Amino acid sequence: MSAPTVRRRRLGGKLRALRGELTLEEVAEKSGGAFTLSKVSRLERAESAAKARDVGALLDLYAALGREITDEMREALLTLTREGAQRGWWHSYRGVLTPMYEDLISLEAEATSVSMWQAGAIPGLLQTPDYARAYMTSVGMGAAEESKIDALVEVRIGRQSVLTREKPVTLWAIIAEGALRTKITGEGVMRDQLSRLLAMSSRPNVNIQIMPSDSPPHVGQVGSYTLLGFEDRPDLDVVHTESLTSSMYVEDRAQVGVYRDGFGRLTATALGVEASIERITEIRKQL
């Protein structure tokens, strides 16, 4: 698929929920020929890129059949439709990116806020090229992946443009102190990385907190995650989690809320922003 698959999946899931107990055959019949069984099925299964006029017409049909479709819901679903058809700069790297990674990049590009908890590494949006290269090389990548490292580093650095564009994303990153003390091969790599954190922390749209090594037990010990927010459209908020072999998107609104509440608790447990800058500075002096 050429479009962000997570957007298509979310749109398809919303349309399926609105169909409710109606069969595909009934939708096709009640549409008066505007929709075929296969067309509705493809939209729900995210098998093809939706067109705004089709989604709008389907929403009109469901509203006429008694479904409650608010103006906010309509706009959210049409936004999913429009964004699901977009292509970004990362499209030229499709040969080295997985579909899930493409999804993440597209979501970062569309988001208005990114809130992330990182237990073991510096967040990708804040990495230097040398740190990114060293980290990718060290996480057990196979020979095939290693041959793509140059391109993957370019992509990782390219993602960071969301922080410096005309209307930048607001980043709130909470990083475990242990990540700052990682021994990275290469002279000055870790020192430069911490300098990068300090420089980015001075931007008005970037907040960095450090979770001290001696902190009490906290929800972040379950694993790292990223919450991507979309301003006044909470129905579109998504959580991204990642492990060594797989990635997962949490899209259910209630579950996203659990992660959001967890991030609030992490914010309260970590060092404050100013104290975090001081901690980064202290560790940098030790290198």
SS (H, E, C) 68-102: CCCHHHHHHHHHHHHHHCCCCHHHHHCCCCCHHHH
Q: What is the pLDDT of residue 262?
A: 97
Q: What percent of the chain has pLDDT over 70?
A: 93
- Work out the pLDDT band at 2, boundaries 50, 70, 90: very low
Environment class of 116 (CB within 10 Å of its CB; exposed 0-12, middle 13-18, buried 19+): buried
Q: Higher model confidence: residue 236 or residue 263?
A: 263
Report whether pLDDT(224) > 90. yes
Report whether pLDDT(280) > 70. yes
277 alpha carbon, distance to own chain's centre: 25
- Token pair belonging to 97: 């990116």
Environment class of 228 (CB within 10 Å of its CB; exposed 0-12, middle 13-18, buried 19+): buried
> Which domains are delineated in the chain?
5-84 (1.10.260.40), 92-285 (3.30.870)
Say which range, 40-44, 98-102, 111-115, has the weakest mean pLDDT: 98-102
- Work out the pLDDT band at 4, boundaries 50, 70, 90: very low
On whether the CB atoms of residues 219 and 184 are closer than 8 A, the answer is: no
Q: What is the pTM of this model?
A: 0.78
Environment class of 150 (CB within 10 Å of its CB; exposed 0-12, middle 13-18, buried 19+): exposed
Report whether pLDDT(3) > 50. no
On whether the CB atoms of residues 201 and 81 are closer than 8 A, the answer is: no
Radius of gyration of the chain (CA): 21
For 195-214, write each residue's pLDDT tens digit.
999 999 999 999 999 999 99
Range 178-187 average pLDDT: 91
Report whether pLDDT(143) > 60. no
Q: Higher model confidence: residue 277 or residue 148?
A: 277
Report whether pLDDT(176) > 50. yes
Report whether pLDDT(235) > 90. no
- CA dist 120 and 124 (Å) reads 12
Mean pLDDT of the chain, nearest integer:
89
Strand partners, 175: 118, 210
Range 75-102 average pLDDT: 78
Range 240-256 average pLDDT: 87
